[in-house]
Amino acid sequence: MNKNLKLKDGSVFFVLAGLTIVSLVPFLWMISTSFKGAGALMSIPIEWIPKEVTFASYVKIFTKLPFMKSLFNSILVSVSSTLLTIFSASLAAFVFAKFDFKYKNLLFTLFLASMMIPIQVTGIPIFIILMKFGLINSYVGVILPTIFNVFGIFLLRQYMKNISNDFIEAAFMDGASFFQVYWKVIIPMSIVPITTLLVVNFMNYWNDYFWPLIILTDPNKMTLPVLLSKLNTQYTTEVNTLMAGSLVSMIPILVVYAFAQKYFIRGIQEGGIK
């Protein structure tokens, strides 16, 4: 019996290790390509370790491209969108989870149904509305449509429903206002799902290409995904420069995940248990 268990565990380990290696191949190719010169990009067989290592691609993205400006733009849009999304989603989730009002379930069902509508369908009317308000080519026009996140409301509502009402009632009895209960009771007790939502949303906003491309027409306001797409043209693609830029653009996501890793993993585990 023990031998069968050990054999099974060993087999699972080798399968998972193999899948991990396979999944890392594209990432390793990105790293290798970013250090290659133009002549070694399409060499066959692939030079996994470049014969001539060059940092020309990294020098180019920082000297010949407005990389730092686009990096700042992406940080501004991603951080603002993430914080506003968490604020709006947590506030709405608190109301849906702990208060009763007429048509609450119907309204929440309509919220969930809206998740099935793709952005390609709602993109045109949202664009027209933003144009009427003069928000085209502005960061507000990029941030505003993203802050009402139905998935975030759903995720936080499911967690907040399990928070005991005794905490809320005690806070109201002590004279706390609605917002004080939300800020000093609900938010600290919901830090795990909020951190999970923070990581997921930051990654989505950081990698978003479609909406900034449509709204921002000024090259000085381009976000990083839009800037990197300019390296892929009809006639040529600077693969090594594109890979170098993509690798550098991953650093903020890794930093956010490193700081939120403990809460992020707890959120996944608790969500799976519930």
- Reported as a single tens digit per residue, the pLDDT across 3-26 is 554 555 667 777 777 888 888 888
> 234: which 2 tokens?
């009809």
Residue 91's pLDDT is 92
Q: What do you get for the CA distance between the two ends of the chain, in Å?
A: 32
Grouping H, G, I as helix, E, B as strand and the rest as coil, residue 216 is coil
Q: Give yes or no for residue 234 having a pLDDT over 90.
A: no
Which pLDDT does position 122 carry in this prediction?
83
What CA–CA distances, in Å, run from 176 to 35, 53, 173?
A: 59, 63, 7
How far, in Å, are 191, 231, 241 from residue 170 at the CA level? 20, 58, 58
Whole-model pTM: value is 0.81
Say whether pLDDT at 231 is over 80: no
Average pLDDT score over residue span 61-90: 90
CA atoms within a 13 Å half-sphere pointing along the CA-CB vector of 44: 0
Return the half-sphere exposure (C-beta side, CA atoms, 13 A cut-off) of residue 83: 5
Residue-wise pLDDT for 19-64, tens only, equals 888 888 888 888 888 887 766 666 667 666 777 778 888 888 888 8
Q: What average pLDDT does this structure show over 59-83? A: 90
Q: Which residue has the higher pLDDT, 166 or 263?
A: 166
- Span 106-160, pLDDT tens digits: 888 888 888 888 877 888 888 899 999 988 999 999 999 888 888 889 889 988 8
- Residue 272's pLDDT is what? 41
Residues in the chain: 274
- Give residue 274's pLDDT: 46
Confidence check: pLDDT of 260 > 80: no
In angstroms and rounded to an integer, the radius of gyration of the C-alpha atoms of the chain is 24
Domain ranges (residues) in the chain: 1-54, 63-273
Can you give the pLDDT at residue 39?
63
Residue among 151, 150, 147, 145 nearest 212 (CA): 145
Contact 156, 193 (CB under 8 A): yes
Q: How far apart are CA 274 and CA 155, in angstroms?
A: 12
- 269, pLDDT greater than 60: no
Least Cα distance to 193 among 258, 272, 107 occurs for 272
**Has residue 98 got a pLDDT over 60?**
yes
- pLDDT score of 77 more than 90: yes
Domain 63-273 annotated CATH 1.10.3720.10:
yes
Q: Which token pair is 102?
A: 């007429």
DSSP three-state, residue 232? strand
Residues 159-193: tens digit of each pLDDT: 888 888 888 888 888 888 888 888 888 888 888 88
257-270 mean pLDDT: 63
